[in-house]
Amino acid sequence: MTSQIEELRVFAEQNFGRHLLANSYPGRGIVVGRLETEEDSDVWVQIYWIMGRSENSRNRRFVVGGAADNELRTEARDPALVTDPTNIIYEAMLELPDIYLVSNGDHTRTILETIEHSARFEDALAVREREDDAPNYTPRIASMLDLRGHGELYFAILRANAADHDETDRIVWRLPFPPRGLGYGITTYRHDGNPLP
């Protein structure tokens, strides 16, 4: 098992180099993983980042707190410079007991409310679309870590259909928990461009 985990670590480092270090514009991104600790404790980490190219997108920052102390949301750095708050002001991280949600838009709230009503992660995403910011059509990305029972980890991307940008492809992955010291990640873009790929 140790050699298999070492192979996974090498693969993860290569992925990190290829998809993040060598990527001039990954856009927004999510990483969910488990820390490697000396104790036998299970420590999870969720990472979310934002980048922006337009003045409107760069005019935001993270704020902890809100309706709950454990909420991470975005807000305008300078409210006078906001041209359109639609895709830049949202709750990025929310939680329920033993359920941790993260996304790059207001669909974090949609997921939380859907789960509260005993529905599934993918049900929440079925009613959402990619962002309406032509010509980029920014994908909506999300993750849910559910530590109840045996536990579940989901990632999803909602992106414009390649043949018809009015349609949204919804891809959901249910992933096994990663070994300690590893995780999964997803970004909105593969690299910089105009429009963004």
97 within some domain: yes
The pLDDT score that the predictor gives to residue 117 is: 95
- Looking at residues 148-153, what average pLDDT do you find? 95
The pLDDT tens digits of the residues spanning 94-128 come to 999 999 999 999 999 999 999 999 899 999 999 99
pTM: 0.91
192 within some domain: no
Whether the CB-CB separation of 95 and 70 falls below 8 Å is answered with: yes
Those residues with Cβ within 8 angstroms of residue 188's Cβ, 6 or more apart along the chain or in another chain: 26, 27, 28, 29, 104, 138, 139, 141, 196
193 within some domain: no
50 within some domain: yes
**Number of domains forming the structure of the chain:** 1
197 within some domain: no
194 within some domain: no
Amino acid (one-letter) located at 170: R
The pLDDT tens digits of the residues spanning 18-70 come to 878 888 889 999 999 999 887 777 899 999 999 998 899 999 999 998 776 78
Mean pLDDT score of the chain, rounded to an integer?
92
29 within some domain: yes
Amino acid (one-letter) located at 92: A
**Sheet strands (E) in the chain:** 29-34, 44-49, 60-64, 72-76, 91-96, 99-103, 140-146, 152-160, 168-175, 183-187
Q: Which domain holds residue 49?
A: 2-187
The pLDDT score that the predictor gives to residue 106 is: 96
CATH number of the domain enclosing 147: 3.60.20.20
32 within some domain: yes
